[in-house]
Amino acid sequence: MNTTFDYIIVGAGSAGCVLANRLTEDGQYSVLLLETGGSDKSIFIQMPTALSIPMNTKKYAWQFETEPEPFLDQRRMHCPRGKVLGGSSSINGMVYVRGHARDFDEWQQHGADGWDYAHCLPYFKKAETWAFGGDDYRGEQGPLGVNNGNQMKNPLYQAFVDAGVEAGYFHTPDYNGRQQEGFGPMHMTVKNGVRWSTANAYLRPAMDRPNLTVVTHALAHKVLLEGKQAVGVRYEQNGQVQDVRAGKEVILSAGSIGSPHLLQLSGIGARETLESAGIEVQHELPGVGENLQDHLEFYFQFRCKQPISLNGKLDPWNKFLIGSRWLLKKDGLGATNHFESCGFIRSKAGVEWPDLQYHFLPAAMRYDGREAFDGHGFQVHIGHNKPQSRGYVKVASADPGTAPRIRFNYLEHEADREGFRACVRLTREIINQPAMDAYREAEIQPGEHIHTDEQIDAFVREAVESAYHPSCTCKMGTDKLAVVDPEAKVHGIKGLRVVDSSVFPTIPNGNLNAPTIMVAERAADLIRGKTPLAPSEAEIGLDPEWQNQQRAGQPARQTG
């Protein structure tokens, strides 16, 4: 193999696969893509309904664990990250949420100049092919296939949407369009019944290009520096350590855990953090690994009066039938992630855009995919998505095989605890609307006895789980904790960029795969020196009375 390339990309994940495609598409540059994991050609990755398997499999995901979380009763939280072609887009839930338009305006306010919604929207459009056609908000010629799965065939999906409207919230037919706030169908990155990861959408079409080299099972040790210039990468494959050089740039796309960890292993970061791990300081940059943010969620579970939930499909025989149909036809229950309706609401008056997110599931099951109780049920996942608590990723050893220290400080901030109290109370009101009367039976979790602030706080500390959206650890901006500038260049180091969810200044209201892909699409143009796409003038849908009301202004119907 050649040992010199124009660009070296570390990490074949949601961002790295996009960059590998875009930087090689005109044949001008040679690109090396390094990935610690291996092939994504597994039925458990490609079949959407099997989503819980790769996330919990060491072969396909780093099984990171946090330090004891001080505000979650010292629980250690699971933090899986993709370790396979496609990265976390090959192990995630395939939910496609861009975030609210104001989330990106917020980035601009934090110093990420040029990353407001008007400049980001054209790249969201460039990336996708929306199953129902393009418009001012949606793309129709991009690599990423996006649809609604099985079109909400199970009546529980529509009942949940109707209940949200009955409770006084908007109906929003496309939360990725003009207006996020409200209830409606949910979108997923599935194409022709197959998980449409960035490996499938971007990397596979580029694999035969002579100017792209992909090396798997390659553990990056460090970025090679000559003074304040990045010149290459040291990596290990099959026990052999090799140095490769970059003629133009090294680009880290190892994710919000991997990218700051690799910078620290390379001697770039906070002096105290590096020296405590026995690493010589090459460039002091105190924000590396700081500003860590994530989404938490828990789920409400109810028994279902009618035998129509997916709990009737969780036995081995039905799983065999679902899998067989998917293998033969790529359709049916195997071709969906089962999150086909959703909601985005504001937790209280005075919040300008939604900070709570719902995923509705017509089943009651645990995170490992097993049924939660005998009989039929349904659940709704709910989380407060604009946390104010901040954590860190810190290198623990100079050995690149040693996991970093991770702590999110979940629920440290009172505003986050307040947000989860709203989650409990507002969700209960929605599920008790008339639209759910034909289906809703006893509340299983949290349980009707959980209603005071103290009881809710205790339940949340015990039951809440990560939504697996770590981000913001190499934040973009110009302040003292910023790691990269608005062109994703590492401050103070030439020839080195970070392009992945770690560069988000703040976490958006939604799942992170879509905005990560968008960031990589726009960064690819910046890296190549191309004129960025013209900003959009599309309107942003906001409740005009957001300062005075918590919902659309329609009073909730009596809940019987």
Known binding-site residue numbers: 6-35, 84, 92-95
Helix (H, G, I), strand (E, B) or coil at 486: coil
Q: Please state, in angstroms and as integers, the Cα–Cα distance from residue 64 to each residue in 56, 61, 78, 92, 219, following that order.
A: 11, 9, 6, 15, 16
Closest C-alpha among 333, 317, 316 to residue 325: 333
d(CA 291, CA 504): 10
Helix (H, G, I), strand (E, B) or coil at 240: strand
Closest C-alpha among 48, 52, 18 to residue 33: 18
Count CB neighbours of 528 within 10 A. 14
Closest C-alpha among 412, 373, 368, 419 to residue 391: 412
Cβ–Cβ under 8 Å, residues 145 and 133: no
444 residue type, one letter: I
- Between the two ends of the chain, the Cα-to-Cα distance in Å is 71
Residues that constitute the known binding site for FAD: 6-35, 84, 92-95
- Angle ∠(517,386,172) on CA atoms, nearest 5: 70
Count CB neighbours of 536 within 10 A. 18
Determine which one of 110, 295, 359, 469 is catalytic: 469
- Angle ∠(224,516,210) on CA atoms, nearest 5: 60
Residue 357 φ/ψ region, left for φ over 0, alpha for ψ in the -120 to 50 degree band, beta for the rest: beta
d(CA 96, CA 514): 6
Count CB neighbours of 236 within 10 A. 16
Kindly state the helix (H) or strand (E) to which residue 206 belongs, with its residue range.
Answer: helix 204-206
Tell whether omega for the bond before 446 is within 30 degrees of 0, i.e. cis: yes
Q: Please state, in angstroms and as integers, the Cα–Cα distance from residue 154 to each residue in 136, 358, 434, 538, following that order.
A: 30, 17, 18, 33
What six digits make up the tokens of 250?
């090294």
Backbone angles phi, psi at 49, to 5 degrees: -70, -15
Residue 204 carries which DSSP code? H
Cβ–Cβ under 8 Å, residues 520 and 15: yes
Burial 329-343 (b: 16+ CB within 10 A, else e): ebebbbbbbbbbbbb
Strands 465-466 and 356-361: unpaired
Helix (H) and strand (E) counts in the chain: 14, 25
**469 labelled catalytic:** yes
Q: Using CB atoms within 10 Å of the CB of residue 397, give its burial: 0 to 12 exposed, 13 to 18 middle, 19+ buried.
A: middle
Cβ–Cβ under 8 Å, residues 392 and 289: yes
Instruction: Catalogue the active-site residues.
Output: 469
